[in-house]
A and B are shown apart, each in its own frame.
Chain A
Amino acid sequence: MASSKARTSSFSRNLSSASTPQIPGLKHGPNGTMFLSSGIEDLDKILGGGFTLGSLVMVMEDPEAPHHMLLLRNFMSQGLIHTQPLLYASPAKDPKGFLGTLPNPLTSKDDKSHVRETEQEKALRIAWQYKKYFGEQNLNSQRDGKAEYCNDFDLRKPLERHILIGQSIDCVSFQECSNVATLYDRCSTFLAPNHRLSTGEKGLEKLDGNRSDGGITCGGRIAIQSLCTPQCDFSNKDWEMLSFIRSLKSILRSSNAVAILTFPPSLLSPYFLKRWQHLADTLISVKTIPDEDKELSKLLTGYQDMIGLQNVHKVARINTQVPAILDATIYSMKLYKRRSLILECLNQAPVDGSSGTSYASSGS
């Protein structure tokens, strides 16, 4: 509170934020917030620019498919490319091994061909998809300028070794942690006050753009995978885990980091699940879709290419009271050319057409 003395008038212009040079990997958002890329261009766009610095992103896993890992891997890879510090916590014995599976960015040549081809593809799409067609075109025109902010990743190629070297990466296995407090300590040392991720002063200075001392040099990333799995000793201590999430959220708020936390919702009782959801700033769920669901495949176009559905339940609202109203909350997850993850609005066939006869009869 003391730090805010300089600003007493509601109408003082915030000059410093306008003149702050662009920091690679970060982007200015509305209401004095900063964005950091999720590593998936479509997701950034859906969320209005990316993950807000200082926010907690929670992903509800599908118990049957590891789609949440796609989000985690892109998120982590993107951070490493921007040389942002990373903390990865997982129930596996050797979380470091997971770093070997992180995707590599597509080379610029591949990148361009991807754009061109999708544009060609789109030209073939039929009339009721027009709205979407225009939306994506805008995106493509923007992408040249912001290519550095969010890379395209090739999920088949592992991240090149040299990117991993010399980075500040911290890995934690839940199995080493006897209780959640240990995990919390690791997170708080990662975000510690003398660390470059902290703004020093509580929130205000960071958010008001007074970055002369301390200053944002880069954003940090925390990735916590499957927090409440039975592998960890603390999985049955519901209140302790809630306290952990709440404490993590409060230290995040005064830092320049984003934490992404995935969890299997089926392992929580509905009572605690709601509490977890309330704690999330941004809440996303991923679901797999059955391979041969004839009903669905009739209803949705491009069903064959889909690997799952992603549902955006909540978008972080920091420094504002206005809720984010998305055009759609459910998106289909597709693997483009089996290597890069894209999210698309669902294209639902017209209801009348789903009976299957009207089209055929009119065509013949």
Chain B
Amino acid sequence: MSSLAPNLLDEALGFDVATSTITDRWDGCRRVILIEDSVETSGAFVLHHFIKRTLSPLSSDVVIFLSFSHSFSHYDRVLRKMGCNLVQQTENKRFLFFDLLKFQCKEGNVESVTMALYGKVHKALEICCVPDTKTKVLLVIDDISLMEVATNGSSNQVLDFLHYCHSLTSQFGCSLVILDHEDIYTSTDLPTLLLRMECLADTVIKAEPLGTGLAADVHGQLTILNKGVSDVVGKKRSKSSNFHFKIKENNVEYFYPGSRT
């Protein structure tokens, strides 16, 4: 499958290029990945990429998807064009979709409602993660800023929820992918939520427009920051990479700046 061939994004994320299965690399990673985007450039395509990778026919991994922003049919349409049938995966119990479009807390019950949601996620994970199997779970949240809206701006509750989800990564060995909009927080002096999330994250992926505006050939640039990568001598350090992308219906092209004519 050509679309599973490694690209710059996978390389930057550290997916093993040599082995086409991703399970080995995910193994023990238990990563938290934060995707940041802006009004001009949507980072949703990175989410789609993760879903597609995780649901690859070569693995038995599971995606648990918390959607605050789109309906199932939207993702189904998008992923179908990428060669991944979410309806079928739902039937195979490899894609669990939580439709949270109408998720809304009222004053006073914020904590109980978010806790109930966490309970559901926890239960779903318990079912998916049968011990002694190689099944890995990817927990995706699209997107966290809408959860803030749904909880009427109580970012502390959202943070609590995130911390609980983070604890799941060590409990069940799952990975967590969060989408958020960076530009919301640029005007605030203390963007607690964003800073905390960046702190939690092992990998931060930033989707930004080009400084010169959008072009037909280049839709924007990705900056990927991997924290705590061991280098040759075994020292922990951060590694960042940067490249351009062009989004198509069935895949995304990644290339280094200037490598396109």
The complex places the Cα of A4 from the Cα of B76 at a distance, in Å, of: 10
Contact present for A204 and B104 (CB under 8 Å): no
The complex places the Cα of A93 from the Cα of B115 at a distance, in Å, of: 42
Q: Which residue of B lies closest to A313 (CB)?
A: B39
B150 CB within 8 Å of chain A: yes
Q: Which residue of A lies closest to B248 (CB)?
A: A322
The complex places the Cα of A325 from the Cα of B220 at a distance, in Å, of: 11
How many of chain B's residues touch chain A, expressed as a range? 35 or more
A160 CB within 8 Å of chain B: no
Contact present for B247 and A243 (CB under 8 Å): no
CB pairs A–B below 8 angstroms (15 shown): A7-B87, A9-B85, A204-B73, A207-B77, A208-B73, A239-B153, A243-B104, A246-B150, A254-B71, A278-B181, A319-B74, A321-B45, A321-B48, A321-B78, A323-B214
Q: Of B81, B87, B219, which is in contact with the most chain A CB atoms at under 10 Å from its CB?
A: B87
B149 CB within 8 Å of chain A: yes
Stretch at the interface among B117-125, B182-190, B221-229: B182-190
Q: Which residue of B lies closest to A318 (CB)?
A: B74
The complex places the Cα of A32 from the Cα of B76 at a distance, in Å, of: 12
Contact present for A323 and B39 (CB under 8 Å): no
Stretch at the interface among A17-25, A69-77, A269-277, A355-363: A269-277
Residues of B within 8 A of A247 (CB): 102, 104
Q: Which residue of B lies closest to A317 (CB)?
A: B42
Residues of A within 8 A of B257 (CB): none
Contact present for A320 and B152 (CB under 8 Å): no
Shortest distance between the CB of B172 and any CB in chain A (Å) = 24
Produce 1/0 per residue, A176-208, CB < 8 A to B: 000000000000000000000000001110011
Produce 1/0 per residue, B186-224, CB < 8 A to A: 111000000000000000000000000111100100000
The complex places the Cα of A253 from the Cα of B104 at a distance, in Å, of: 16
A residues in contact (CB < 8 Å) with B: 1, 4-5, 7-10, 31-32, 202-204, 207-208, 238-240, 242-243, 246-247, 250-251, 253-254, 269-271, 274-275, 277-278, 283, 313-314, 317-323, 325, 329
- The residues in B between 32 and 81 inclusive whose CB is less than 8 angstroms from any CB of A are 39-42, 44-45, 48, 70-74, 76-78, 80-81
Residues of A within 8 A of B171 (CB): none
Contact present for A274 and B88 (CB under 8 Å): no
Given contacts A31-B77, A243-B149, A321-B78, contact A1 B97 (CB under 8 A): yes
Contact residue among B42, B88, B91, B187 (Cβ-Cβ distance under 8 Å from A269) = B187
Shortest distance between the CB of A34 and any CB in chain B (Å) = 13
Residues of A within 8 A of B186 (CB): 270, 274
Residues of B within 8 A of A202 (CB): 71-73, 99
The complex places the Cα of A275 from the Cα of B153 at a distance, in Å, of: 11
Residues of B within 8 A of A283 (CB): 39
Having A203-B73, A317-B42, one finds 11 other A-B pairs with CB under 8 Å, namely A1-B87, A1-B90, A8-B87, A9-B85, A202-B71, A239-B149, A246-B149, A253-B70, A271-B187, A275-B149, A322-B248
Produce 1/0 per residue, B82-120, CB < 8 A to A: 010101101100000101011010000000000000000
Shortest distance between the CB of B71 and any CB in chain A (Å) = 5
Residues of B within 8 A of A269 (CB): 187
Residues of A within 8 A of B91 (CB): 8
Contact present for B102 and A274 (CB under 8 Å): no
Contact residue among B72, B80, B185, B248 (Cβ-Cβ distance under 8 Å from A1) = B72
Contact residue among B85, B101, B185, B249 (Cβ-Cβ distance under 8 Å from A322) = B249
Residues of A within 8 A of B102 (CB): 247, 250-251
The complex places the Cα of A128 from the Cα of B40 at a distance, in Å, of: 30
Contact residue among B81, B83, B185, B214 (Cβ-Cβ distance under 8 Å from A325) = B214
Residues of A within 8 A of B175 (CB): none
B146 CB within 8 Å of chain A: yes
Contact residue among B40, B44, B72, B149 (Cβ-Cβ distance under 8 Å from A204) = B72
B145 CB within 8 Å of chain A: yes
Contact residue among B48, B85, B146, B188 (Cβ-Cβ distance under 8 Å from A10) = B85
Produce 1/0 per residue, B139-156, CB < 8 A to A: 000000110011011000
Q: Which residue of A lies closest to B213 (CB)?
A: A329
The complex places the Cα of A242 from the Cα of B145 at a distance, in Å, of: 11
Residues of A within 8 A of B48 (CB): 321
Contact residue among A10, A238, A246, A322 (Cβ-Cβ distance under 8 Å from B80) = A10
Contact present for B219 and A253 (CB under 8 Å): no
